[in-house]
Amino acid sequence: MKLDLYQLRTFFTVARTLNFTEAAKRLHVTQSAVSHAVRKLERSAGEELLGKAGGKFSLTEPGRILYKACETVFYELEKAEELIAGNKDGGAGVIRLGATVEFGTTLLVKYLKGFINRNPGIHIDFQFKHELLRPLLNDELDIIIDCDDHKADGIEKRPLFREEYAVIASGEFIKKNGLKDPAALAACNILSLDKGGLWWGNFLNSLPRNGRPEFKKITEINHVRGIINAAIESLGAGFVPKYCVLKELKAGTLKNVFPRLELLEDHFSLYQKTKRAGLERHRRLADYLANIKATHLLKP
């Protein structure tokens, strides 16, 4: 079996995406060039590496064996490239970093200023979205920061920090609806990311079962910033990460309705492929992010 490095890299890219068009886009070549390279590799291997059923590609057993080998080979080559580019000190190259929308846009880009200034050889591209695991598994992202608990083969998790929440409303809304205790929310308009009010789970589960209000009127707003702005306009009571509303709370445009109530928290973690955790630029970024504390998130 004669192996060609270009053909292997093309196959590896196709195997990660299972999409010839996407692979061509990533490799900056035509789709026909990708198809040609994979066919030549299959002829060299004497085996079919990709199968197709129901209009979808999948790896055959020989394809899976070769894919695992490619993972090791190309990640090791990436380490070598990093060392060479970083003058044998590492810390050079590109990191595609993914995070949840509100955390990424509100805090992450600000917090990483120090890292970027100290590591001029490392370039970070950001993607903020709600679905992060699949882009990580498909190598569209290198590292993700998420509060969902992800479990997948070949993925390692590093806990970062706890996320605190607050029930928010304008002073006008609180006064008009007599919001003195959680039970009063049953008669209020509730602002939520979903129509069923699941977004309020950490609040409701903080209360005893017989003390949980039943939300009768819910306005669905599919973005945290939209909930915040709606609350400012007295359209309802919202439930949001506390760091998102520090300026509004300080300015008095919003109130923390139940400041003494201990609410359940979420836990943010860093996820990356185990085989890529050995990259020096990944290690540096992971160590820097591990120093995020709740106090950083709660600074106005």
Q: Which amino acid is at 192?
A: S
pLDDT tens digits along 51-70: 988 878 899 999 999 988 98
DSSP state of 234: T
CA 114, chain centre distance (Å): 21
Lookup result for tokens 């309802």: 236
Domains, the chain, ranges and CATH?
5-85 (1.10.10.10), 93-163+266-297 (3.40.190.10), 165-256 (3.40.190.10)
In this predicted structure, what is the pLDDT of residue 295? 52
Q: What is the pLDDT of residues 90-144, one digit of tens each?
A: 567 889 999 998 889 888 888 899 999 999 889 999 999 989 999 998 888 999 9
Distance (Å, rounded) from C-alpha 59 to C-alpha 146?
Answer: 29
Listed in sequence order, the residues at least 6 apart from 100 whose beta carbon sits closer than 8 Å to its beta carbon are 128, 129, 130, 132, 145, 146, 147
Strand pairing category for 143-146 and 155-163: unpaired
pLDDT at 207: 95
Q: Which residues pair with 98 in a beta bridge?
A: 127, 144
Residues whose CB falls within 8 Å of the CB of residue 286, separated by 6 or more in sequence, listed in order = 143, 158, 270, 272, 277
Residues in Cβ contact with 36 at an 8 Å cutoff, skipping those fewer than 6 apart: none
> Which helix (DSSP H) or strand (DSSP E) does residue 21 occupy?
helix 20-27
Question: What parts of the chain have a pLDDT lower than 70?
Answer: 1, 86-91, 293-300
What pLDDT score does 213 carry?
95
How many residues in total does the chain contain? 300
Q: What integer pLDDT is reported at residue 54 of this predicted model?
A: 80
Six token digits for residue 297: 């998130």
Closest CA to 112 of 90, 101, 97: 97
Q: Which of 83, 95, 4 is nearest to 45 (CA)?
A: 4
Specify the pLDDT at position 82.
76
d(CA 217, CA 38): 56
